[in-house]
């Protein structure tokens, strides 16, 4: 829900940046409900399986990300599990759209995965930085480490890492300049090309869920979690806003340039950050 709200608000922001008025913030909810209500065409049960697996995987991932220190189960927000559970969502999505038989879809997926290869590495480096500092791979503990006011937030302590993470998350959310997988003008929205009706609706929900937990991870890593759910969501929205703002003014990279960029700038930043931390 929150993710959909974010997307709606994000569309407004984009429009404002581009000097348009934009849709209302609840537009996204309307879209989803409308799509779910429509009769849709499908080709094969694997499409269904893929869609369900994708959404299921992403929901499962979302559950593991602590929101303001709160979790439905005392798992502590295990970061590796989160990363790899998210992957099953992506795999499901990829499988579903592959089964649709449209060559644009796997093309988009191929790009998405290439990009994933790019951003996982600096992201892993960032995680390792925090894990080494806290001695725990639990997001809850990483967030808990930052309690005590603005100055103890990691964004302040490790600004370089934050910049790197921001670029990485930009790629993770497939926002410009890293939206090669969607690329509406080149490959007709890539993975989404063959999806219609409720498949597209599910796809939108997936996207919303993904945005939700990605921003939540960022908040936990750099903004000290949140005292309660509202501040937490606010922070999430802040992160998303940054992404949207960058998105609205950026052109698109070629995929190999994107990966190369991710492997140079953010990785260099994070390594400098690591050196600073470890040599201090």
Partner 1 sequence: MISIGAMIILAVVLALITRVFLMKHKLLSWVLFSAYTAFSVFVLLKLYGNWNYFETMNLSYLVGRINMRPGFLNKPLGWFFSFFVMAMSFLNSFFSMGFSKSSHSRNIVPHWLMILAASLTVFFTKDWLLFIIGWETLGWASFFIIMGGKQKKYKDSMSYYFFSLVSGMLLIAAVWMIGIKFRTLNIHTTTRSMIILAKNTPWQAFPTLLMLTLSFLIKSGAYPFHIWAPRAHKSAPADFSPFISGIMIKFGIFGLLLYVIPIVSKGYAGYSIFGMPVFAWVFSWLGIITSAIATVLAFSENDAKRLMAYSSVANAGYIITAIFLGTALGIKGGLLHAFNHMIFKAVIFMTIAAVVYRTGETDMNKMGGLAYKMPITFMTFLLGIIAAAGIAPMNGFVSKWMIYQALLGQKHYFMTVAMFFASTGAFLYLYRALHAIFLGQIREVHEREVKEVPFLMQIPMWIGMILMFGLGVFPGYLLRPMMPLMKTFGSSISESLNVVQGSVGSLNTLFSTVIFILGVVIAAAIFFLSAKTHKTPMMDNYTSGEDPEEWNVTPNKYQFSYGFYEPITKMFSWALKRSVDKAYFKASYILKIIGREINMIFTDHNNWGYAALLGLLAMIIGGLFL
Give the residue from 121, 95, 63, 124 showing the smallest Cα distance to 264: 121
In the complex, minimum distance from the CB of residue 139 to partner 1, in angstroms, rounded to a whole number: 10
d(CA 228, CA 66): 11
Q: How far is the CB of 234 from partner 1 (least distance, A)?
A: 26
In the bound state with partner 1, the residue whose beta carbon lies nearer, of 112 and 218, is 112
Q: Which is nearer to partner 1, 125 or 244 (CB)?
A: 125
Per-residue burial over 154-176, b if 16 or more Cβ lie within 10 Å, else e, is bbebbebbbbbbbbbbbbbbbbb
**Smaller CB distance to partner 1: residue 107 or 219?**
107
Taking the complex as a whole, the smallest distance from the CB of residue 126 to partner 1 amounts, in Å, to 10
* In the complex, minimum distance from the CB of residue 182 to partner 1, in angstroms, rounded to a whole number: 16
- By beta-carbon proximity to partner 1, the closer residue of 7 and 58 is 58
Length of the chain: 280
Residue 5 has phi, psi (to 5 degrees) of -60, -45
Give the nearer residue to partner 1 in terms of CB position, either 99 or 218. 99
Q: Kindly list the distances between the CA atom of residue 279 and the CA atoms of 162, 271, 272, 274, in Å, as whole numbers in the listed order.
A: 19, 12, 10, 8
DSSP for residue 8: H
């Amino acid at each position: 829900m929150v993710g959909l709200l974010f997307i709606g608000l994000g569309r407004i922001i984009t429009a404002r940046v581009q000097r348009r008025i934009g849709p209302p913030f609840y537009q996204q909810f309307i879209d989803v409900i409308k799509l779910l209500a429509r009769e849709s065409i499908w080709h094969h049960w694997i499409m269904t399986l893929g869609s369900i697996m994708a959404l299921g995987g992403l929901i499962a991932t979302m559950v593991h990300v602590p929101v303001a220190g709160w979790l439905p189960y005392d798992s502590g927000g295990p970061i590796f599990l989160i990363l790899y559970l998210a992957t099953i969502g992506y795999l499901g999505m990829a499988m579903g759209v592959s089964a649709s038989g449209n060559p644009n879809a796997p093309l988009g997926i191929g790009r998405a995965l290439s990009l994933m290869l790019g951003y996982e590495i600096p992201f892993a480096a960032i995680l390792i930085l925090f894990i080494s500092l806290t001695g725990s791979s639990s997001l809850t503990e990483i967030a808990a480490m930052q309690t005590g006011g603005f100055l103890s937030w990691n964004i302040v302590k490790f600004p370089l890492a934050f910049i790197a993470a921001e670029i990485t998350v930009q790629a993770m959310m497939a926002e410009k300049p890293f939206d090669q997988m969607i690329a509406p003008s080149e490959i007709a929205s890539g993975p989404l090309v063959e999806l219609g009706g409720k498949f597209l609706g599910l796809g939108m929900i997936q996207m919303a869920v993904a945005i939700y937990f990605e921003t939540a991870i960022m908040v936990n890593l750099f903004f000290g979690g949140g005292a309660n759910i509202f501040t937490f969501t606010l922070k999430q929205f802040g992160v998303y806003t940054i992404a949207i703002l960058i998105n609205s003014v950026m052109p698109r990279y070629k995929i190999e340039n994107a990966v190369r960029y991710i492997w140079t700038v953010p990785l260099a930043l994070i390594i400098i950050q690591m050196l600073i931390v470890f040599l201090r």
